[in-house]
């Protein structure tokens, strides 16, 4: 059985972010940031990453057009 690391990191991120904010220490928050960055590195070169980038570009373009 193989585990896709991006899926594993996504599950960990959802699980960690679902906890109460008040109970987190600074080191716990830093670990969450590192995990999210690793997830981003794994997703970026995939088709899903390209789709997310296109959506964010369209959103940024829309915001820029509205603010003019």
Does the pTM surpass 0.85? The reply is no
**Helices (H), ranges, 1-68:** 5-17, 26-43, 47-67
pLDDT tens sequence for the chain (68 residues): 566 777 888 888 888 888 776 766 888 888 888 888 888 888 888 888 888 888 888 888 888 888 77
What pLDDT score was predicted for residue 2?
Answer: 60
Phi-psi domain of 46 (left: phi exceeds 0; alpha: psi -120 through 50; beta: other): beta
As a whole number, the mean pLDDT across the chain is 81
Give the pair of three-digit tokens for residue 10.
Answer: 């996504």
Contact (Cβ atoms closer than 8 angstroms) between residue 36 and residue 13: yes
């Amino acid at each position: 059985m193989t585990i896709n690391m991006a899926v594993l990191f996504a599950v960990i991120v959802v699980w960690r972010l679902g906890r109460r904010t008040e109970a987190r220490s600074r080191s716990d928050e830093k670990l969450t940031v590192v995990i999210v960055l690793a997830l981003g590195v794994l997703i970026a070169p995939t088709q899903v990453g390209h789709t997310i980038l296109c959506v964010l570009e369209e959103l940024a373009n829309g915001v820029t057009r509205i603010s003019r």
